[in-house]
Amino acid sequence: MSTIVLLTLTGLGLAALYFLVASGLSLVFGLADVLNFAHGLFLSVGAYATWWAAGNLPGAGPSGFGFVLAVAFGVAAGAVVGMAVELVMIRPLYSRTIEQVLVTVGLSLAGVALLQATWGADPRPFPRPDWTQRVTPVLGAKVPNSGILLILAAVLVLAALLGFLRYTRYGLVIRAGVENREMVTALGIDVRKAFTLVFAIGGAAAALAGALGGVYFGSVSPSQGGSLLIFAFIVVVIGGMGSVVGSAYAAVAVGLLQQFVNYYGTSGAGDICVVALLAIVLLLRPQGIAGRAATT
Amino acid sequence: MTGGDEVTGGAGVSGGDGVTGDGVRGDGVTGRTEETGRLHRAGSDVQGRTEEAGMTTGLKTAVADNPPAAPPTAGSVPVPRRNWRSALRTWSPLLVLLVLAVLPYSTVSVPGVFDGPLNGPGTLQLLAICLVFGGLAAGYDLLFGRTGMLSFGHALYFAAGVYGTDILVTKAGLPLWQAALLTLVGGTTLAALLGAVALRTAGIAFAMVTLAFAQVGAILVARDFGGLTGGEEGLSLDVSGLPAMLVGVGNTVNLYWLALAYLALVVFVVHRVAGSPTGRVLAGLRDDERRIGVLGLDPYRFKLLAFTLAGGLATAGGAIYCLLVGGASPHVTSSELTLSLLVMVVLGGPGTRWGPVLGGVLYMYLDHRLTAFGTSSAVESLPGVLSGPLSQPLFVLGTVFILAVYFFPGGLTSLSTRLTPFRRLRTDRSS
C-alpha cells in the first residue's frame, strides 16, 4: 500500500514537472502555431538564474525567504527570455511556421552551448532548502517534500492559468485566438500582443519547472531542459495542442504510467510505454484528449 | 547576354521564396536550358501516368504550374548555346568525384585547413566522416526539401545502421557483408513500419511522433537491454572478423573510398528519384498535398515511399559510419543528430542537388575543426566573454544557422543566384 502511495505521489511530482513545461508549450503552439524547441532553453535559463541568484543576488539565498526570492528571480528571467525570443526572433517570421521551428531549433542548440560555455557541461549542485530534503509521511509512505512542492506549484499554476484564461480580457483574446486566430485579427484585436504574453507566460512556467526541478533532482546541467522537453512534447500531443487542461490530464497520465511501469517492469520500460500511449492516442484520436480549445 | 538570361531569371523566381524552391539551383545561363528540357520530359511522364490512372481533366495546367517547370518558351532557346560551359556543368560532378577519388594520392598539406598531409589517416578520416554526413544530409533532404516532411526522427535509422552492423558483427559473429545486408533490410523495414504509423499524422504532429519514436530508440540503446548495445559506453567493433583491407590506420583510405562511394550513391539515387515521375509527385506533395489527392494519387503511399527510401539510405550510411569510427556510441541515437541534419540541409539549401551535400560536409568539418579553433591561441587571447562561446562549435553553428534562416533562406546554393546581379554588372562592363 505504502509503495503504491509513494509511487503515485512521485509520479504526480513528475507529472507536475511535465505540466509546467507542457502548459506553456501547448499555449504557444495553440495560439501562434510555433513548435518551440527553445522551450527547454527557458527551463535551463530558469534553473541557472535561480542557482546564480541563490549564490550572488543580495537578499537571496539557499533557504527560507531568500530561496523564494531566488526562484522569483529565475521565473522573471525565464519570462524575460521568453518575451525577448518572441519579439526579436519569432515575430519577424510571422506565419512562416517551418522557419519559426528552424529558428527555435538553432536557438536551442546555440543557447545550450552558451550555457555550457559559461558554466561548464557538468551538473552543478543546486541550492536546496533543508525542508525540501526531508520526507513527509503520507498514509505510511515517506514522500519527499520536493515532490510535494512540485505538485503544489503545478496545481497553483494550473489554477492561476485557468483563472487568467477564463476571467480576464487577455485570457479571452488568447482563448479566442487558439480557436480561430484569423477571426480575432479580423475583429481588430492585435493578436500579436497575445503572442508575446503567451511566450512570457510559457517562459515563466518553464523557468519555474527548471527551478523546482533543480530542487527535485538536486543538480542543474545545461542539457536538462532538452531531455524533459521530449516528454513535454509527448504530453502536449496527447493532451491536445493548445489545451491547458488537456496538458494537465496528459501530464498526470504520462507521469503515473512512467513511474509505475519503471518500478514494476524493467527500468526504461515506462518511457517506452509512454511512447506507445502516444501512438495509440494518435491512431484513435489524432486531435488529442481535449482537442483544440484553451480551457476545456 | 540575350534571351537565355531572362529564362534564368524567370525560373529562379518561380521557385518561390527560396526555402522550398528548386529553381535556385540554376546559376549558369546555358545550363538552364538542358535542365528545363529534362523537367519537361519528367512533367509529361507524370501526365502520362496519371492519365492512365483515369484522370483526364485539369492535368495539363496542374503539371505545367508545378514550380520547377519552366515557361514554355524555354524549350525554344536555341540549342547552339550549349557550349563548353554547359559541358562543364554536365561533367563537373564527375570531375569533382574524380578529384576526390584521387585525393588520397596527394601528399600536399594544407596548413590551417587540415592537420598534416592530405593522405594522412587523420585527414582522410575527417574527410570520410564529412562525406558520409554529406550523403546523410542529401538523404534527409529527400524528406525535408523535396517532399516537405519535417521528420525529427531520422537519427533512428542512422543509429539502426550503426548499431545493427556493430551488433551483428561483434555479438553474432556474422561476416561483414551479411551483417551489412541484414542491417540494410532491417533498417528499411523499420522505416517502412514506423513510417506507416507516423504518416497517419501530418505537419507538426508528424514531427513529434517521429521524435518520440527516435526517443524510444535512444532509450533502448542507453538502457542496454540484453547487454547488446553496451549502454552509455557504446560498443566497439570487433575487427577480427572483418576483411583485412578495412582494418587498421593504414587502410583508412579504403574507408574513405567507401564513404565517397556512399555519397555518390545517395546523390545519384536522390537525383534519379527527384527527376522521375515519382519525384514530380513528391514535389507536388511539398507544394500542395490536396492537389495531389485531387489528381487521384494517394499521398500516403508516396510519402511512405520517400520515408522508407530515406530511412534505407540513412541505414546504409550508418553501416559505413560504424566501420569508419570502429564502433557505435549512444550519441548517434540522440535527437541532436536529427537537428544537426536539419541544420545541414537548411544551411546548404533544401531541395537542391548539391546544397545538402555541401551543408553536410561543411557542418561536419566545422564541427570538428571549430573545437580545435576554440582552443587555439587566437581565441584564447580574446576576453572571456568572447572566447567561451566561440570554443563551443554548437554555439557558432547554431548562430550561423539562425542567421541563415533570416538572411539566406535558400542556403549556400542560393548565394550564386543572389550574386547574379553583380556578375551581370561585371560582364556588361567587360563587353
pLDDT tens-digit profile of B126-153? Answer: 889 999 999 999 999 999 988 988 888 8
Q: Looking at the DSSP assignment, which residues form a beta bridge with residue A143?
A: A136
Place of cell 481588430: A188
DSSP secondary structure letters along A62-83 = SSHHHHHHHHHHHHHHHHHHHH
Q: Three-state SS for A290?
A: coil
Q: Three-state SS for B403?
A: helix
CB A153 within 8 A of CB A16: yes
Place of cell 523566381: B13
Q: Is the pLDDT of residue A117 over 70?
A: yes
CA B350 vs. chain centroid, Å, equals 9
More confident: B85 or B194: B194
Among A100, A69, A71, A66, residue whose Cα is nearest residue A86: A100
Q: Supply the pLDDT for residue B306.
A: 93
Q: Supply the pLDDT for residue B379.
A: 63
* Cα–Cα distance for residue pair A175/A161, rounded to 1 Å: 11
* Cα–Cα distance for residue pair A41/A110, rounded to 1 Å: 10
Confidence grade of residue B428 (pLDDT, cut at 50, 70, 90): low
Q: Supply the pLDDT for residue B81.
A: 54
Q: Which one of A102, A110, A278 has the shortest CB-CB distance to B346?
A: A102
Q: Is the pLDDT of residue B311 over 90?
A: yes
Using the Cβ of A271 and the Cβ atoms of chain B, whether some distance falls under 8 Å is answered with yes
Using the Cβ of B205 and the Cβ atoms of chain A, whether some distance falls under 8 Å is answered with yes
Report the pLDDT averaged over residues B105-118. Answer: 74
> Could A105 and B205 be called an inter-chain contact, meaning their C-beta atoms sit closer than 8 Å?
no
- Contact residues on chain A for B19, CB-CB shorter than 8 A: 98-99
Confidence grade of residue A256 (pLDDT, cut at 50, 70, 90): very high
**Which of B222-226, B277-281, B298-302 is least confident?**
B222-226
Q: Is the pLDDT of residue B388 over 90?
A: no
Q: Which 248-287 residues of chain B touch chain A by CB within 8 A?
A: none
| Dihedral angle over CA of B374, B376, B381, B384, nearest 10 | 20
Q: Whole-number mean pLDDT of chain B? A: 75
- Cα dist from B282 to B17, B66, B311, whole Å: 18, 11, 16
Whole-model pTM over 0.80 = no
CB B361 within 8 A of CB B122: no
Q: Which one of B201, B223, B389 has the shortest CB-CB distance to A268?
A: B223
Report the pLDDT averaged over residues B406-431. Answer: 70
Among A171, A190, A24, A215, residue whose Cα is nearest residue A91: A190
Q: Which one of B339, B343, B405 has the shortest CB-CB distance to A99?
A: B405
Q: State pLDDT tens for residues B32-69.
A: 333 333 444 444 444 444 434 433 333 333 333 444 43
- Based on DSSP, count helices (H) and strands (E) in chain B, helices before strands: 19, 2
Q: Is the pLDDT of residue B395 over 70?
A: yes
- Contact residues on chain B for A226, CB-CB shorter than 8 A: 335-336
Query: What is the domain partition of chain A in residue ranges?
Result: 2-223
Strands A135-138 and B327-328: unpaired
CB B346 within 8 A of CB B355: no
Per-residue exposure over B379-405, b if at least 16 CB sit within 10 Å of its own CB, e if not: eeeeeeeebbbbbbbbbbbbbbbbebb
Q: Supply the pLDDT for residue A292.
A: 59
* Cα–Cα distance for residue pair B281/B267, rounded to 1 Å: 19
> Could B208 and A101 be called an inter-chain contact, meaning their C-beta atoms sit closer than 8 Å?
no
Q: Supply the pLDDT for residue B385.
A: 62
> Could A117 and B402 be called an inter-chain contact, meaning their C-beta atoms sit closer than 8 Å?
no
Q: State pLDDT tens for residues A185-237.
A: 888 888 888 888 989 999 999 999 988 888 888 888 887 777 788 888 888 88
More confident: B82 or B235: B235
* Cα–Cα distance for residue pair B231/B330, rounded to 1 Å: 7
Pure H helices in B199-334: 203-223, 252-275, 277-287, 289-294, 299-325
Name the residue in chain B with its Cα closest to that of A275: B212
Report the pLDDT averaged over residues A279-284. Answer: 80
Q: Supply the pLDDT for residue A75.
A: 92
Task: For chain A, give percent helix, strand, coil, nearest 5.
Answer: 75, 5, 20
Name the residue in chain A with its Cα closest to that of B342: A102
* Cα–Cα distance for residue pair A91/A99, rounded to 1 Å: 11
Q: Supply the pLDDT for residue A155.
A: 93
CA B418 vs. chain centroid, Å, equals 22
Q: Supply the pLDDT for residue B375.
A: 66
| Dihedral angle over CA of A95, A96, A100, A103, nearest 10 | -140
Report the pLDDT averaged over residues B195-209. Answer: 83
Q: Is the pLDDT of residue B186 over 90?
A: yes
* Cα–Cα distance for residue pair B83/B94, rounded to 1 Å: 18
Using the Cβ of B193 and the Cβ atoms of chain A, whether some distance falls under 8 Å is answered with no
CB A288 within 8 A of CB A47: no
Q: Three-state SS for B297?
A: coil
* Cα–Cα distance for residue pair B20/B282, rounded to 1 Å: 12
Where does residue A182 rank: exposed (0-12), middle (13-18), buried (19+ CB within 10 A)? exposed
Among B334, B392, B357, residue whose Cα is nearest residue B130: B357
Considering only the top CATH level, what class is B4-74+118-430? mainly alpha
Q: Is the pLDDT of residue B317 over 90?
A: yes
DSSP secondary structure letters along A103-156 = HHHHHHHHHHHHHHHHH-SS-EEPP--GGGGSEEEETTEEEEHHHHHHHHHHHH
Q: Is the pLDDT of residue B115 over 80?
A: no
Report the pLDDT averaged over residues B8-18. Answer: 37
Q: Is the pLDDT of residue B303 over 90?
A: yes
* Cα–Cα distance for residue pair A197/B280, rounded to 1 Å: 43
Single-letter residue type at B146: R
- Greatest mean pLDDT among A263-277, B64-78, B318-332: B318-332
CB B74 within 8 A of CB B36: yes
* Cα–Cα distance for residue pair A184/A179, rounded to 1 Å: 9
Q: Supply the pLDDT for residue B320.
A: 92
Q: State pLDDT tens for residues A120-140.
A: 778 888 877 777 777 777 777
Name the residue in chain B with its Cα closest to that of A33: B204
Using the Cβ of B213 and the Cβ atoms of chain A, whether some distance falls under 8 Å is answered with yes
Among B396, B370, B345, B361, residue whose Cα is nearest residue B126: B361
- Phi and psi at residue A219, to the nearest 5°: -150, 170
More confident: B361 or B383: B361
> Could B215 and A89 be called an inter-chain contact, meaning their C-beta atoms sit closer than 8 Å?
no
- Contact residues on chain B for A116, CB-CB shorter than 8 A: 392
Name the residue in chain B with its Cα closest to that of A110: B395
> Could A35 and B208 be called an inter-chain contact, meaning their C-beta atoms sit closer than 8 Å?
yes
More confident: B300 or B68: B300
Q: Which 14-33 residues of chain B touch chain A by CB within 8 A?
A: 19
Q: Looking at the DSSP assignment, which residues form a beta bridge with residue B236?
A: B327
Report the pLDDT averaged over residues B262-289. Answer: 91
Confidence grade of residue B243 (pLDDT, cut at 50, 70, 90): confident
Q: Looking at the DSSP assignment, which residues form a beta bridge with residue A142?
A: A137
- Contact residues on chain A for B398, CB-CB shorter than 8 A: 106-111, 113
Q: Supply the pLDDT for residue B308.
A: 95
Name the residue in chain A with its Cα closest to that of B226: A266
Using the Cβ of B343 and the Cβ atoms of chain A, whether some distance falls under 8 Å is answered with yes
Among B81, B190, B88, B210, residue whose Cα is nearest residue B143: B210
More confident: A288 or B56: A288
Q: Supply the pLDDT for residue A296.
A: 52
Q: Supply the pLDDT for residue B382.
A: 65
- The DSSP secondary-structure symbol of B139 reads H
* Cα–Cα distance for residue pair B247/B261, rounded to 1 Å: 18
Using the Cβ of B405 and the Cβ atoms of chain A, whether some distance falls under 8 Å is answered with yes
CB A179 within 8 A of CB A293: yes
More confident: B251 or B168: B168
Distance from CA of A14 to the nearest CA of B (A): 18
Single-letter residue type at B336: E
Q: Three-state SS for B5?
A: helix
Place of cell 505510511: A140
